[in-house]
Structure 1
Amino acid sequence: MDDKGITIDLSVQGMSCTACAARIEKSVGKMPGVEAVAVSYSARTAWVQYMPGTIQPSAIMEQIGKLGFKADLPENAKEGFEKERSRLRLRLIVSLLLTAPLLTAMVQHLAPFAQIDLPAILTNPWLQLGLATIIQFVIGLPFYIGAYHAIRSRATNMDVLVATGTSAAYLYSHFLVFNADRTALYAHEVPLYFETSAVVITAVLLGKFIEASVTSRAQQDASGYSKLLNTVVQVERAGVEMEIKTEFVRENDYVIVQAGQIIPVDGIIASGDSEVDESLLTGESVPLAKRSGDQVWAGTKNESGALRIRTTAAGYATMLSRIVDLVRQAQRSKSVIQRQVDTVSAWFVPAMLFLALGTFVIWVTIADPGNWTTAFRCGVAVVLAACPCALGLATPISLVVASGRLAKRGIVVKEAGALERLAQLNMLVLDKTGTLTEGKPKVSSVHTTLGSKQGLMRLAAAVEANSTHPLAIAIRADAMQAGLVPPAAVDFAYTTGKGVEAFVEQRRIGIGNASFAASRHWSFSSPSIQSYAEERQKLGETVLYVADNNRVIGAISFLDTVKPYAKTAVSRLRKAGVTVLLATGDHPAPALSAAQTAGITPTQVYANMLPEDKLKLIDRLKEQDYKVGMAGDGWNDAPALAAADVGLAMGDGTDAALTAGHITLLQPRMTALPEALLISRLTVRNVRQNLTFAFIYNAFIIPFAACGMLQPWMAGTAMAFSSVSVVGNAIRLGSRLRKVAGQF
């Protein structure tokens, strides 16, 4: 819970199109105590943020029920979706069986079958009436219920179109059966449209069943992480091993994980050695050697030896659960394209109803005056041809597929809009330490003019005792390796991106870069220190000065190697039309050395950059109309990550990276950058293909229907399968993305 309330995920059954999702959002969003709401038709879920003191989940679920839908808790989502699909399958089968006899009337109108003699009973108008009535008001009852609830809420959806079009065809035919001349009726000289209403309902049901089946498959692919969530674990308490549910595991519990099992918690290995496969969490295919003291994560697989793990997080607190939440967050969020499509879809159905009425009027008054049959047929065809579902599904289904595939590669997208913006990227700013380089620098050499090198490292380790900066970690590691015991330090004063000072043994000890030394007006005890710094920097190393009471007494140099495949990644980004810059707080010499190794030209290197300088650089590039991305470690680069069009936080296996940027790379591999870019562009291209098809379909099919060139049953069938084709194209995206993964 936060100051904005708490959130709940609900499964929603009974939605027929994206207009239903929009109606739920609008209605629930108006409820007192509801802070935010997002409903996904493709995922059949609703996300609600509410104030518990004002409203309860039961009231929210009740409100959704009043709209004609069924809301349930997320643990029942899969079961509810399968029940809905089973009911849809049953309705489809019965509808197919009852529609088959009615098709005979339609078959006789086709030239190749005109001479075939069919049993008279099959073309009997009273049999057609009976079968059509069952299909219309029993099988098709949910369409009427959905249309009623939509109109009651002063909205429209696909149910309104289906109910209107099929009712018109059925009622017109019903009227003719009871009022037409009996001789003409039995001679089939009176045009009946019972087969039209029946075929349309059957086709819509078939399309929705195929759509539900394909969408279910896409959802399963996207929610692959759920397979990694253990429900039962082996825990050691007071020397006794017991089996308990994961949600009952507490911090500092010891969990036993045998070889071949999925690790159920985040924790530190207390005892045991093994190799752990983290591929499903980070995208790295090579198992990592783990031993006592190493961090492990829920969802990874213990490959060899047994491990005894001290729990640091379990259940919903694990990094895996947080990733699952972020993937769901991305899938329920809306991109700019989707919001625009939603705006169009809101007026689409009313517009089509008015167009159908206009078509009827034009035919009966101008095109073919007095021919009510033709006018009616064309008007009904327009209603049945109109399809808002293809438009509504075009974006979200592709985003579901893409976000799931990215997550399996260790690339977590937090919002749908970030994926869309990433596809437009033409400028990428890289941080150096932890992004371009390994981020694990080591002490290369130490120079001092006062005392021993061990004494200097002892003081430096004391000042850097609490820092999480990579250079501070390197200092402490070197001191520990040398067996040094740093003295206590107090009164720390940090300057982000520059250095730190503290009192150690009653002396003011400082450590920092040249900029920090200048800002503190440190004096140098010997020119040799500056000469040493210049020599080490020429070698591409980073240098920090150590001062005692504002007098520099030595310097420490660090070496941080460039990541493997960094040059390949930069090359691929350039081929994709992205200019790569390097912005670092480091000295120009090591920055240029790292850039040269990675294939970044010297003119694209910015050194001695403080966090605020990186932020200004991002803003300046955006003012020049570049679409700017920033890739950093998620700590000092947080302002720049937030300001960029797309912030890519390079993780290091810790959950801290999940809080920074718009996209998180769990495994800080450089090749993930061009991979994410390629996937985003393929996804946006797929969305545009879907939208293009949906618009072209409506632009072509509706005029044909209005001009009398389509029978109503043809228009209705085409409408049903237009959304299926959009979903199918999104699934095709999934296969393409799997091939992309093999390239990186």
Structure 2
Amino acid sequence: MTHIYTVIGMTCSGCEAHVTKSLLSVENITDVLVSKEKKEAVITMDKHVELETFQTALGGKDSKYQISIPNSDPKKESESSCCGGSKENKQAVNHKHEAGTYYCPMHCEGDKVYDKFGDCPVCGMDLVKQPSLVQKVQYTCPMHPEVIQDEPGSCPICGMDLVPLEPSASEENKSYLDLSKKMKIALLFTIPVFIIAMSEMIPNNPMFEIMELKYWNWVQFVLTLPVVFYACWMFFERAFKSIISWNLNMFTLIGIGTGVAFLFSIFGMLFPDIFPADFKTASGTVHLYFEATAVVLTLVLLGQLLEAKAHSRTSGAIKELLKLAPTEATLIVDGEEKVISIHDIKKGDSIRVKPGEKIPVDGTITEGSSTIDESMITGEPIPVDKNKDDIVTSGTINGTKSFLMVAEKVGSDTLLSQIVQMVSDASRSRAPIQNVVDKVAKYFVPIVVAVSVVTFIIWWQFGPEPKLVYGFVNAIAVLIIACPCALGLATPMSVMVGVGKGAQNGVLIKNAEAIEKMDKIDVLITDKTGTITEGKPSVEKIIVKEGIELEVLGKIASINQSSEHPLANAVVNFAKDKNATLQKVADFESVTGKGVVGFINSEKISLGNQKLMEQEQVTDFSEVIKEVTAEQKLGKTVSYIAINKKVVGYITITDAIKASSFEAIEELKRQGVEVIMLTGDNENTAKAVASELNLSDFKASCLPQDKLEYIKQLQAKGKIVAMAGDGINDAPALAQADIGIAMGTGTDVAIESAKITLVKGDLLGIVKAKNLSHAVMKNIKQNLFFAFIYNTIGIPIAAGVLFPFLGILLSPMIAALAMSFSSVSVIANALRLRSLKI
């Protein structure tokens, strides 16, 4: 039985895939067809399954995805909870693929994103806005700015051409500007407080001639109020939330430390008689810490301001990719040109690309030729010649000629959109090394609070006079200097910058785990056709022992018309060039890893390797086997031609080895990576290619399951295996390998199965990926070292461990300055990856 259900919450093809997989996992379900456009799922089942069962499979009642019977009242997306059921944030969480949303830079909740700006409910840090992946452009008149419309055209008032309307300020800048405004206010009031407090150290303080210290204390109190209750009040709100939810973080420490200092100062000013003599000055007033409160909070605010500025740079790669997309295109309608927004382009539209313009969508050239600068996609600076029937990609730049193209992939289906989406998703993923940090961070704040309490007790019991003052100040310094954010930011900042750097060089990384594993690989398994070789095979010759050559060529070309294999395309193109007649084929069958079979006018045509011939019980090879073997030893691919179970000849196909394959394999071997070729081609051809490339090992005549089993065997020996391939038959092996590497020139199935995609489809891209992963992991380890060393050294110094030996104490203000810059230093180190040469 088959039923149709409504499914809401799907925003992209990734959502479709997730919903499909989840529903198929339900018992008694045999088939699922999901459409995000129709918001429906067509489910075939052996017996009836309750709706609640489907909802559970999709993640329960609080899931992003809600399934219901058509025309019922499904739970609306906006009602779903976002923070593990917390209603306080009032921010509905989106699926990670949705664009233009906010995420925590420390990825405390994995890939959760939020609709509204705020602070992370776990760590308290400002959420960061992911650059919007949908660049909807509006147009305005330069003479009449009040004219705004969604499409290009002319101004209805003056007739001038409308120009794209630039946004006045991004939300990211608004956040930075808001912090900047608060910083100015904090400085305006903090500096006078600091001057008043420091003036007490001046002999015969002239300020005391104006009024007594107790009145100056009131002035400090009044000046501190705007700093605490306006400029930095958000820190106390975050501290309060962290304690209520028990998600203890940096702001817990800041809030406790400065809050205690501020409240102590108020009580000391209002009720000085309740304090012991240790806390009092010579004039009888209590030592107050308004200046410490104001300065510490201002310095923390400065750190937040610098982080906000730095965060905008870490997502710079995505922003640069987004800039590649043009805003408009020239549509050809009935021979007339019309300028339209790229969002209005439909599949099948004819587009004119003029000299110097960016190509608006993915498609094929139908008329004309040009040179295309693809460096922004592949990272290669040399322009590529493009002629009729060649594929062109959105975001690349046309040279000096004009051409016509047909739109084939538009909107989110274009390569540029997929690259941006992949970079966006990968930037928010978590590396396994982050798990160690998470375990440390879980206990970090309670330990710091305990150390602070112990510090106070030790100073109170064993310190010099005034004991209580020393204990109080050092306990606050311990709270202030500890910085869990430096630990939390160490991994995600490096991952974000590294993933962006890879995208700019044609290396697309699916997640942070791939970066970590790529650095550890010791075996690379590679396919031959399209990976080591150009993947553009051509027929060198056809040898026919029985029958007319042109007729035999027409028959095998007819069979190959239904095949997706590159070798099949080569045969069809060769037949067309020879003007061979193609015929209707019945019962076509593609035998994976072996060849193709079909019937033409009751004749059974078989074209493939020796395994196919054996499967089809074709045994008479005596006339051609020596010739075939000789061709194979020259590195050529040879397919037997059989008609009605009798070999009538063979066809020889050549596929040149990429020049870059030699360099890439040598470099990988130099780095200690063993390179092994697994190919479906025959032993002789595989041996010739392996010998030319000086490979350590190879396996020939491999079926998809053979590649899969070979990888499993290597993994059983403790090897960390990467697999590079480009075809449908490579998909199982790509999925099994520790790191699947798909050639961007290959099939969608292979790319979907892989964790790294090389846009150019070049083995040198694997070298780039290896170098990048090594640099990112090295950068992460540097960040973690900085963060651990900082806290390991900083906390004991703040506690006063150097005082007995060197007489050195750390002021809470200095501790705040060090704490603020610790996170910034981690981000700055991660940003060094932007200048990396891979």
Note whether the superposition's TM-score is higher than 0.5: yes
Alignment of 1:41-52 (within 5 A): 41-42=104-105
Which amino acid is the alignment partner of residue 823 of structure 2? S
**Helix, strand or coil for the counterpart of 1:243?**
strand
Q: Residues 234 and 257 of structure 1 are in contact (CA less than 8 Å); yes or no, is this contact kept in structure 2? A: yes
Between 191-200 and 558-567, the greater mean CA deviation after superposition: 191-200
Instruction: Look up the match of 2:195.
Output: 104
Instruction: Look up the match of 2:780.
Output: 687
Which amino acid is the alignment partner of residue 729 of structure 1? N
Distance 2:301 2:758 in 1: 41
**Helix, strand or coil for the counterpart of 1:85?**
helix
Q: Residues 457 and 479 of structure 1 are in contact (CA less than 8 Å); yes or no, is this contact kept in structure 2? A: yes
Structure 1 residue 415: Cα displacement: 1.0
Give 5+ residue unaligned stretches, structure 2: 1-9, 11-15, 20-35, 37-62, 65-80, 136-166, 802-808
1:648 maps to 2:741 = yes
Cα distance change on mapping 1:72 and 1:569 into 2, 3 Å: closer
Q: Residues 653 and 666 of structure 1 are in contact (CA less than 8 Å); yes or no, is this contact kept in structure 2? A: no
Distance 2:345 2:749 in 1: 22
Instruction: Look up the match of 2:265.
Output: 173
Aligned counterpart for 1:587 among listed residues 682, 687, 692? 682
**Helix, strand or coil for the counterpart of 1:539?**
coil
Distance 2:568 2:206 in 1: 89
Q: Residues 561 and 572 of structure 2 are in contact (CA less than 8 Å); yes or no, is this contact kept in structure 1? A: yes
Instruction: State the identity as a percent.
Output: 35
Structure 1 residue 388: Cα displacement: 1.0
Aligned counterpart for 2:833 among listed residues 709, 733, 736? 733
Instruction: Look up the match of 2:628.
Output: 533
Which amino acid is the alignment partner of residue 219 of structure 2? L
Distance 2:282 2:700 in 1: 90
Which amino acid is the alignment partner of residue 535 of structure 1? A
Distance 1:408 1:3 in 2: 27
Cα distance change on mapping 1:363 and 1:180 into 2, 3 Å: same
Structure 1 residue 371: Cα displacement: 2.7
Instruction: Look up the match of 1:491.
Output: 587
Cα distance change on mapping 1:95 and 1:64 into 2, 3 Å: closer
Instruction: Look up the match of 1:418.
Output: 514
- Deviation sequence 1:524-583 (CA, Å, 0-9, x none): 2x6221111111112121111111111111111222111012111111111111111111
Aligned counterpart for 2:523 among listed residues 427, 436, 455? 427
1:315 maps to 2:414 = no
Structure 1 residue 175: Cα displacement: 2.2
Distance 1:93 1:36 in 2: 37
Instruction: Look up the match of 1:15.
Output: none
Between 509-518 and 77-86, the greater mean CA deviation after superposition: 77-86
- Deviation sequence 1:213-256 (CA, Å, 0-9, x none): 12212212343210012232222223433222222211111222
Instruction: Look up the match of 2:4.
Output: none
Which amino acid is the alignment partner of residue 557 of structure 1? T
Distance 2:401 2:227 in 1: 62
Instruction: Look up the match of 1:559.
Output: 654
Instruction: Look up the match of 1:151.
Output: 243
Distance 1:194 1:550 in 2: 96
Instruction: Look up the match of 2:171.
Output: 80
Which amino acid is the alignment partner of residue 468 of structure 1? E
Structure 1 residue 305: Cα displacement: 1.3
Distance 1:146 1:33 in 2: 19
Instruction: Look up the match of 1:387.
Output: 483
Q: Residues 508 and 548 of structure 1 are in contact (CA less than 8 Å); yes or no, is this contact kept in structure 2? A: yes
Between 239-248 and 556-565, the greater mean CA deviation after superposition: 239-248
Q: Residues 260 and 302 of structure 1 are in contact (CA less than 8 Å); yes or no, is this contact kept in structure 2? A: yes
Distance 1:99 1:470 in 2: 71
Aligned counterpart for 2:226 among listed residues 134, 137, 140? 134
**Helix, strand or coil for the counterpart of 1:445?**
strand
Which amino acid is the alignment partner of residue 715 of structure 1? A
Which amino acid is the alignment partner of residue 288 of structure 1? V
Structure 1 residue 669: Cα displacement: 1.7
Q: Residues 657 and 664 of structure 1 are in contact (CA less than 8 Å); yes or no, is this contact kept in structure 2? A: no
**Helix, strand or coil for the counterpart of 1:428?**
strand
Relative to the length of structure 1, the TM-score reads: 0.88
Distance 1:316 1:518 in 2: 46
Q: Residues 542 and 590 of structure 1 are in contact (CA less than 8 Å); yes or no, is this contact kept in structure 2? A: yes
Aligned counterpart for 1:161 among listed residues 248, 253, 259? 253
Query: CA RMSD of the aligned region, Å?
Result: 3.3
Distance 1:697 1:186 in 2: 37
Q: Residues 230 and 264 of structure 1 are in contact (CA less than 8 Å); yes or no, is this contact kept in structure 2? A: yes
Q: Residues 358 and 394 of structure 2 are in contact (CA less than 8 Å); yes or no, is this contact kept in structure 1? A: yes
1:282 maps to 2:375 = no
Alignment of 1:298-313 (within 5 A): 298-313=394-409
Between 714-723 and 23-32, the greater mean CA deviation after superposition: 23-32
1:468 maps to 2:564 = yes
Aligned counterpart for 1:661 among listed residues 754, 757, 775? 754
Distance 2:568 2:18 in 1: 37
Distance 2:767 2:127 in 1: 42
Structure 1 residue 623: Cα displacement: 0.9
- Deviation sequence 1:695-718 (CA, Å, 0-9, x none): 111111112222363221122211
Between 286-295 and 693-702, the greater mean CA deviation after superposition: 286-295
Cα distance change on mapping 1:227 and 1:619 into 2, 3 Å: same
1:701 maps to 2:797 = no
**Helix, strand or coil for the counterpart of 1:267?**
strand
Which amino acid is the alignment partner of residue 240 of structure 1? E
Q: Which has the higher contact order (CA 8 A, sep 6+)?
A: 1
Q: Residues 223 and 404 of structure 1 are in contact (CA less than 8 Å); yes or no, is this contact kept in structure 2? A: no
Q: Residues 110 and 430 of structure 2 are in contact (CA less than 8 Å); yes or no, is this contact kept in structure 1? A: no
Distance 1:28 1:458 in 2: 68
- Deviation sequence 1:192-217 (CA, Å, 0-9, x none): 32222112111111111111112212
Instruction: Look up the match of 1:16.
Output: none
Between 488-497 and 338-347, the greater mean CA deviation after superposition: 338-347
Q: Residues 251 and 312 of structure 1 are in contact (CA less than 8 Å); yes or no, is this contact kept in structure 2? A: yes
Aligned counterpart for 1:710 among listed residues 810, 815, 823? 810
- Deviation sequence 1:389-435 (CA, Å, 0-9, x none): 11111111111111111111111111111011001111111111111
Cα distance change on mapping 1:645 and 1:440 into 2, 3 Å: same
Q: Which has the higher helix share?
A: 1
Structure 1 residue 66: Cα displacement: 9.6
Cα distance change on mapping 1:425 and 1:512 into 2, 3 Å: same
Alignment of 1:131-280 (within 5 A): 131-180=223-272, 185=281, 190-280=286-376
Structure 1 residue 314: Cα displacement: 1.7
Instruction: Look up the match of 1:436.
Output: 532
Instruction: Look up the match of 1:548.
Output: 643
Instruction: Look up the match of 2:726.
Output: 633
Distance 1:201 1:396 in 2: 26
Structure 1 residue 595: Cα displacement: 1.7
Distance 2:243 2:629 in 1: 77
1:569 maps to 2:660 = no
Cα distance change on mapping 1:341 and 1:26 into 2, 3 Å: farther
- Deviation sequence 1:291-338 (CA, Å, 0-9, x none): 232221111111111222211122222121111111111111111112
Q: Residues 103 and 128 of structure 2 are in contact (CA less than 8 Å); yes or no, is this contact kept in structure 1? A: no
Between 438-447 and 640-649, the greater mean CA deviation after superposition: 438-447
Instruction: Look up the match of 1:20.
Output: none
Structure 1 residue 722: Cα displacement: 0.4
1:94 maps to 2:194 = no
Cα distance change on mapping 1:300 and 1:521 into 2, 3 Å: same
Q: Residues 106 and 488 of structure 2 are in contact (CA less than 8 Å); yes or no, is this contact kept in structure 1? A: no
Which amino acid is the alignment partner of residue 363 of structure 2? G
Aligned counterpart for 1:291 among listed residues 359, 362, 387? 387
Structure 1 residue 632: Cα displacement: 0.7
Distance 1:101 1:395 in 2: 39
Alignment of 1:5-84 (within 5 A): 26-27=84-85, 40-42=103-105, 75=132, 79-84=170-175
Structure 1 residue 654: Cα displacement: 6.8
Distance 1:105 1:646 in 2: 62
Which amino acid is the alignment partner of residue 638 of structure 2? V
Structure 1 residue 25: Cα displacement: 5.0
Cα distance change on mapping 1:613 and 1:449 into 2, 3 Å: same
Q: Residues 598 and 605 of structure 2 are in contact (CA less than 8 Å); yes or no, is this contact kept in structure 1? A: yes
- Deviation sequence 1:679-735 (CA, Å, 0-9, x none): 110000000100111111111111222236322112221111100000010111221
Cα distance change on mapping 1:116 and 1:471 into 2, 3 Å: farther
Which amino acid is the alignment partner of residue 164 of structure 1? I
Cα distance change on mapping 1:31 and 1:147 into 2, 3 Å: closer
